[in-house]
């Protein structure tokens, strides 16, 4: 890979497989997922619970734990495969190259450490050498950049509101100017007003440092506000991916179509239709297309062959047998 | 009951009435800390027609305390909750048993409402036994199966299973079935869809709507989510720090909010439409001096004025179907009737 593409495309995930090994067999939480992230881009990965979206976040950080194992594929970060690195190399690449903003509902900050020390901790851990004054200056600069008063540095997490804690998490995530930010449901459990502030802050800092961001969640409204591109996950696979406006206006996969038409809005009251049926078992996924058991347009072939991902329009991919006859070229996404 | 609220009832019978309900929680041994979770909230639900009323607010707004007070789980510090003419806090055993059957609740987390060791059947059969709804086993089976079908579940796929074998949406619908089986007059639904996936959310909301439309059950829909409130409710009460900030018909409140707090909430809704982007407007920042008197939204209000610190604003009647607690509407008549009934009519 040339340096030029590395700079433009900091993250390339190819055919990633993450299985949870249980007594009853492997649960294929992530089963052949491919996507790439360009510099400055914001990708939203949406899916129901059990679709594999949070497992992707863990794998990108190489923070997955037994019984989860990466069974195949590659995660190319800034040109080199994370899966080839040893633990120490991975530790050094976290925060400096790829950083995570944790779930809003989790209290990820250390309750007995002042905010200043938690921010500096990450830097020192990555062998950043600065004087005390320089460290304090950097902390103040980071807190200001996420809309917090520099005085917050001397406080403990319990003295902060949920929204302020999430801003601190963002400040820590950008402390070493990573090229990729991973945010897994960063505003779960936050009120709408605070949610908007936190997501806008994340967007502002991501644009300022020029990082690529990937946000994981189930709220299509939040994705519409944040993402420039959206990937729809179902049963451990990305079944459709494309620019955000395009996905909302012209969803191609039947699952995406049903998902978008099930979204309530505040324009007009209407009959609300859910998606009938249940998500597939990832232990024994159905043969053929994972969605065929719930799909209103299922055909015979859907019960037999796994659909191939095709590029239907430029930058617009879907994996569905409805488009087998289209001249969309096959791609290994 | 005051003369004003009688006048506002238009003579129609009230099913449920919260009358100037306040609840203060006290914490601390040496230095007492008081939290005013509810501050003189008054509203009512008529006997007929069956209505869906949304009670909306953020965490700390008092919406869950209000739900628990209405259910008789929390005793108000002052004021009273009246169910069909009887004060909930002073009911006889027989009245209370009837109240417990006629006022049902659906909680946020369908996991927590279940004992994981019991099968789903147990959840559904217990109330039949407790309230003697059936005289034989086959009659009980019939009631259970009918209730499950009402909420769109197939009895053969649901009964005999443990809670973890059902999806979150199925579990929540079992809770709706359990509530419906008792033929309640009113269901208090406290964030019933905030834990379920989008595709199931629509199904559960549609089920609640059908309960209201087809079975004549009134619903109090407690939520932080204005979008689902808009879809399901006729009327909405917006709470802020335990007080009614604004109330009225749901279309008018959400499409044209008057209180600066409601405006902030509505502009924060993440619309599922990339063309409708969030505005950049922000709330005001708290300043050093936060007045102890005056409007409780003063510290966050982007439209605050000097007079807002003088005294707590009253509710102003800005339209036939609207009230708002904001001095910017001081030209409108003060809404004297403490009940919201006349606003919702």
Q: What is the pLDDT of residues A42-78, one digit of tens each?
A: 999 999 888 899 899 999 999 999 899 999 999 999 9
Selecting from B202, B251, B277 the residue whose C-beta is nearest the C-beta of A272 gives B202
Contacts of A263 in chain B (CB under 8 A): 198, 272
Would you call the peptide bond into B49 cis, given omega within 30 degrees of 0 as the criterion?
yes
Which of 89-108 (B) contact A at CB < 8 A? none
List the domain range (segments joined by +) for residue B337. Answer: 3-344
Residue A326 above 80 pLDDT? no
Q: Inspect the interface and report whether the beta carbons of A248 and B274 lie closer than 8 Å.
A: yes
Give A14 to chain B, closest Cα distance, Å. Answer: 28
Compute the distance between CA of residue A38 and CA of residue A288 in angstroms, rounded to an integer.
31
Q: Which residue of A has its CA nearest to B267?
A: A193
Flag whether pLDDT at B1 surpasses 50: no
- Any B CB within 8 A of A49 CB: yes
> Quick one: closest CA in B to A222, which residue?
B270
Cβ partners under 8 Å of residue A248, min gap 6: A224, A260, B272, B273, B274
B278 interfaces chain A, CB cutoff of 8 Å: yes
Q: What are phi and psi of B288, to 5 degrees?
A: -60, -45
Which among A222, A244, A271 has CB closest to B270? A222
* Two structure tokens written together for A179: 């090229």
Q: How confident is the model at residue A15 (pLDDT cuts 50, 70, 90)?
A: very high
In tens, the pLDDT along A160-180 reads 999 999 999 999 999 999 999
Among A138-142, A270-274, B270-274, B288-292, the minimum mean pLDDT is found in B288-292
Please name the residue ranges forming H helices in chain A.
Answer: 3-8, 53-60, 87-93, 115-125, 132-145, 162-173, 192-209, 220-226, 244-249, 254-261
* Residues ≥6 apart with Cβ < 8 Å to A323: A252, A310, A312
Cα of B156 to nearest chain A Cα, Å: 15
Q: What is the end-to-end Cα distance of chain A in Å, rounded? A: 18
Chain B residues closer than 8 Å to A259 by CB = 198-199
Residue-wise pLDDT for B308-324, tens only, equals 988 989 999 999 999 99
Please list, residue by residue across A159-195, b when 16 or more beta carbons sit within 10 angstroms of its beta carbon and e when fewer do.
Answer: ebebbbbbbbbbbbbbbbebbbbbbbbbbbebbbbbb
Sorted by sequence, the CB contacts under 8 Å of residue B185 that are 6+ apart come out as: B15, B102, B103, B217, B218
- Closest by CA position to B208, among listed A264, A221, A295, A258: A264
What is the spatial distance between Cα B63 and Cα B190, in angstroms, rounded to a whole number? 9
Provide CB contacts within 8 A for A105, sequence distance 6+.
A185, A188, A189
B176 and B211 Cβ atoms separated by less than 8 Å: yes
**For the segment B76-131, what is each residue's pLDDT rounded down to a tens digit?**
999 999 999 999 999 999 999 999 999 999 988 766 667 778 888 998 999 999 88
- pTM of the predicted protein model: 0.88
A265 to chain B: which residues are within 8 Å by CB? 227, 230, 271-273
d(CA A158, CA A18): 36
- Distance between CA atoms of A140 and A152, rounded to whole angstroms? 9
Residue B169 sits at the chain A interface (C-beta within 8 Å)? yes
Among the residue ranges A225-239, B3-17, B230-244, B286-300, the one predicted with the least confidence is: B3-17
Secondary-structure breakdown of chain B: helix, strand, coil percentages, each rounded to the nearest 5: 35, 20, 40
**Averaged pLDDT score across all residues of chain A:** 92
Tokens at residue B161, please?
Answer: 């299973």
| Angle (CA) A166 B191 A275, round 5° | 95
- Tell me how far apart the alpha carbons of residues B181 and B286 are, in angstroms, rounded to a whole number: 49
Q: Is A277 on the interface with B (CB under 8 A)?
A: no
Please tell me which of the candidates A244, A266, A274 has its beta carbon nearest to residue B227: A266
Question: Among all residues of chain B, which has the CA nearest to that of A190?
Answer: B59
Q: Closest to B278 (Cβ–Cβ): which among A49, A200, A264?
A: A200
Distance of CA A256 to the CA centre of its chain: 18
Q: What is the pLDDT of residues B242-252, one digit of tens each?
A: 999 999 999 99
Q: Which pLDDT value is given to residue B2? A: 39
Q: Give yes or no for A77 touching B (CB within 8 A).
A: no
User: Distance (Å, rounded) from C-alpha A35 to C-alpha A57?
Assistant: 13
Identify the pLDDT of residue B290.
Answer: 62
pLDDT at B316: 95
pLDDT tens per residue across span B215-229: 999 999 999 999 999
Cα three-residue angle B145-B151-B154, rounded to 5 degrees: 50
Instruction: Quote the minimal CA–CA distance from B277 to chain A in Å.
Output: 6
Residue A82, C-beta contacts closer than 8 angstroms, at least 6 positions apart? A62, A75, A76, A90, A93
Window 110-169 of A, Cβ < 8 Å to B:
none
CA dist A197 and B269 (Å) reads 12
A273, B273: Cβ pair inside 8 Å? no
**Angle, CA of A257, A258 and A259, to the nearest 5°:** 90
Q: Is there a contact between A215 and A44 (Cβ–Cβ < 8 Å)?
A: yes
Distance CA A247, CA B339 (A): 46
Domains of chain A: 3-330 (3.40.50.300)
If you count residue pairs, one on A and one on B, with CB atoms under 8 Å apart, how many are there? Answer: 118
Query: How confident is the model at residue A5, as a pLDDT?
Result: 64
| CA dist., res. B283 & res. B286, Å (int) | 9
Q: Please state, in angstroms and rounded to a whole number, the distance separating the CA atoms of residues B120 and B143.
A: 14
| Residue-level pLDDT at B6 | 36
- Out of A196, A218, A225, closest to residue B198 by CB: A218
By percentage, how much of chain A surpasses pLDDT 70? 95
**A69 CA: distance to closest CA in chain B (Å):** 25
Residues 6+ apart with CB under 8 A from B232: B52, B54, B205, B208, B209, B219, B221
Q: Which residues contact A113 (CB under 8 A, 6 or more apart)?
A: A121, A156
DSSP class of residue B268 equals: T
Residue B8 has pLDDT above 50, yes or no: no
Look at chain B and report how many structural domains it folds into. 1
Cis check: omega of the bond before B240, within 30 degrees of 0: no
Paired residues of B82 in beta bridges: B17, B87
The confidence score (pLDDT) of residue B285 equals 66
pLDDT given for residue A284 in this prediction: 87
Residue B66: its pLDDT value, please?
A: 95
Residue in B closest to A270 by C-alpha:
B231
**Opening angle at CA B145, ends B143 and B148, nearest 5:** 110
* Mean pLDDT of all residues in B38-44: 91
Identify the pLDDT of residue B10: 46
Q: Per the CB < 8 Å rule, is B198 touching A259?
A: yes
Selected residues 184-203 of chain A with any CB under 8 Å from a CB in chain B: 191-193, 195-197, 199-200
Average pLDDT, chain B: 87
**A interface test, pick of B171, B274, B278 with most A CB neighbours within 10 Å:** B274
- Is B16:B45 a contact under the CB 8 Å cutoff? yes
- The pLDDT value recorded for residue B11 is 45
pLDDT of residue B29: 80
| Distance in Å, alpha carbon of A197 to nearest chain B alpha carbon | 8
- Cα angle at B94 between B89 and B95, to 5 degrees? 45
pLDDT of residue B276: 86
A266 CB neighbours in chain B (<8 A) are 226-227, 230, 254-255, 266, 269, 271
Q: Do A245 and B275 touch (CB under 8 A)?
A: yes
Shortest Cα distance, chain B CAs vs residue A322, angstroms: 22
Among A224, A245, A259, whose Cβ lies nearest the Cβ of B270? A224
B265: CATH: 3.40.50.300
- DSSP reduced 3-state for B328: helix
Half-sphere exposure of A133 (CA within 13 A, CB side): 0
Lowest mean pLDDT among A85-89, B157-161, B188-192: B157-161
Taking contacts as CB-CB distances below 8 angstroms, the residues of chain B near A199 are: 270
Neighboring chain A residues of B267 at a CB cutoff of 8 Å:
196
Secondary structure element (H or E) that encloses residue A243, with its range: strand A237-243
Mean pLDDT of A68-89: 96
Give the pLDDT band (50/70/90) at residue A327.
low
């Amino acid at each position: 890979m040339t340096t030029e593409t590395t700079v433009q495309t900091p993250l390339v995930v190819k055919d990633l497989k993450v299985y949870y090994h249980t007594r009853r067999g492997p649960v294929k939480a992530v089963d052949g997922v491919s996507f790439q992230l360009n510099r400055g881009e914001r990708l939203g990965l949406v899916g129901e619970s059990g679709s594999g979206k949070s497992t992707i976040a863990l794998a990108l950080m190489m923070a997955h734990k037994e019984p989860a194992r990466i069974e195949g594929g590659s995660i190319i970060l800034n040109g080199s495969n994370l899966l080839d690195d040893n633990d120490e190399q991975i530790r050094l690449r976290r925060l400096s190259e790829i950083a995570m903003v944790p779930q809003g509902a989790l209290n990820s900050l250390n309750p007995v450490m002042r905010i200043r020390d938690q921010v500096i901790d990450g830097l020192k851990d990555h062998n950043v050498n600065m004087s005390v004054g320089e460290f304090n200056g950097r902390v103040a600069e980071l807190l200001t950049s996420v809309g917090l008063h520099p005085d917050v540095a001397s406080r403990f997490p319990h003295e902060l509101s949920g929204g302020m804690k999430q801003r601190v998490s963002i400040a820590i995530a950008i402390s070493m100017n990573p090229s990729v930010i991973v945010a897994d449901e960063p505003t779960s459990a936050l009120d709408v007003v605070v949610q908007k502030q936190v997501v806008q802050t994340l967007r502002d800092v991501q644009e300022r440092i020029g990082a690529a961001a990937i946000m994981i969640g189930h709220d299509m409204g939040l994705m519409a506000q944040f993402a420039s591109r959206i990937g729809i996950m179902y049963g451990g696979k990305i079944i459709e991916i494309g620019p955000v406006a395009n996905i909302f206006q012209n969803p191609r996969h039947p699952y995406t179509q049903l998902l978008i038409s099930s979204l309530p809005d505040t324009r007009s009251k209407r009959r609300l239709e859910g998606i009938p049926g249940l998500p597939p078992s990832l232990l024994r996924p159905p043969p053929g297309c994972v969605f065929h058991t719930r799909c209103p347009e299922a055909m015979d072939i859907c019960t037999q062959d796994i659909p191939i991902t095709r590029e239907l329009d430029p930058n617009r991919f879907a994996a569905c047998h409805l488009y087998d006859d289209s001249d969309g070229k096959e791609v290994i996404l | 009951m005051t003369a004003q609220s009688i006048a506002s009832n238009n003579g129609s019978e009230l099913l449920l009435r919260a009358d100037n309900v306040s609840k203060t929680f006290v914490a601390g041994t040496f230095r007492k800390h008081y939290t005013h979770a509810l501050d003189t909230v008054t509203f009512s639900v008529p006997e007929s027609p069956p209505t869906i009323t949304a009670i909306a607010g953020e965490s700390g707004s008092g919406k869950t305390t209000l739900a628990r007070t209405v259910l008789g789980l929390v005793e108000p510090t002052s004021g009273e909750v009246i169910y069909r003419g009887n004060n909930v806090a002073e009911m006889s055993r027989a009245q209370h048993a009837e109240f417990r059957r006629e006022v049902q609740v659906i909680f946020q987390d369908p996991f927590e409402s279940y004992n994981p060791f019991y099968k789903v059947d147990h959840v559904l059969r217990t109330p039949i036994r407790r309230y003697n709804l059936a005289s034989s086993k086959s009659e009980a089976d019939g009631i259970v199966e009918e209730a499950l079908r009402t909420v769109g579940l197939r009895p053969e796929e649901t009964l005999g299973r443990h809670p973890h074998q059902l999806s979150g949406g199925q579990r929540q619908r079992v809770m709706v079935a359990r509530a419906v089986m008792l033929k309640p007059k009113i269901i208090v639904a406290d964030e019933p869809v905030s834990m379920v996936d989008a595709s199931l959310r629509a199904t559960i909301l549609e089920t609640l709507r059908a309960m209201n439309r087809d079975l004549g059950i009134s619903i109090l829909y407690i939520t932080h989510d204005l979008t689902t409130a808009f879809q399901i409710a006729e009327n909405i009460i917006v709470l802020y720090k335990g007080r009614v900030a604004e109330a009225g018909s749901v279309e008018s409140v959400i499409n044209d909010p008057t209180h600066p707090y409601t405006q902030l909430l509505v502009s924060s809704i993440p619309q599922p439409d990339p063309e409708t982007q969030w505005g950049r407007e922000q709330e005001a920042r708290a300043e050093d001096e936060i007045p102890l008197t005056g409007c409780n939204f003063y510290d966050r209000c982007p439209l605050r004025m000097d007079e807002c610190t003088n005294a707590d604003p009253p509710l102003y009647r800005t339209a036939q179907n609207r009230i708002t607690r904001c001095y910017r509407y001081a030209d409108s008549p003060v809404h004297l009737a403490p009940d919201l009934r006349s606003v919702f009519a």
